[in-house]
Amino acid sequence: MFKADLHIHTILSPCGDIEMTPLGIISQAKSKGLDVIGITDHNSTRQSVEIKKVGEREGIFVLCGAEITTKEEVHVVVFVDGVERLNELQSYLDNYLIKIPNNEEVFGYQLVVDESENVLYQEENLLIGAIDRSLEEVEEFVHSLDGIFIPAHIDKQRDSIFSQLGFLPPHLKVDALELSWRTNREEFIKLHPYLKKYSFITSSDAHYPNEIGRACINMEINNLSFNSIKEAIRK
The string of pLDDT tens digits covering residues 107-130 is: 999 999 999 999 999 999 999 999
pLDDT(131) > 90: yes
Q: Quick one: which of 90, 92, 98 has its CA closest to 12?
A: 90
Determine the topology of domain 2-234 in CATH: TIM Barrel (3.20.20)
Mean pLDDT of 181-195: 93
Q: Quick one: which of 59, 5, 51, 37 has its CA closest to 178?
A: 5
pLDDT(235) > 90: no
Q: What is the pLDDT of residues 134-160, one digit of tens each?
A: 999 999 999 999 999 999 999 999 999
Let me know: does 214 contact 204? Beta carbons within 8 Å. Answer: yes
Strands 217-219 and 2-8, bridge-based pairing:
antiparallel
Summary mean pLDDT of the chain: 96
Q: What is the pLDDT of residue 65?
A: 98
Q: What is the pLDDT of residues 40-87, one digit of tens each?
A: 999 999 999 999 999 999 999 999 999 999 999 999 999 999 999 999
Let me know: does 6 contact 65? Beta carbons within 8 Å. Answer: no
Q: What is the pLDDT of residues 195-217, one digit of tens each?
A: 999 999 999 999 999 999 999 99
Domain segments of the chain: what residues? 2-234
Q: What is the pLDDT of residue 168?
A: 96
Predicted TM-score of the model (pTM): 0.96
**Count of alpha carbons within 13 angstroms of residue 103, beta-carbon side:** 2
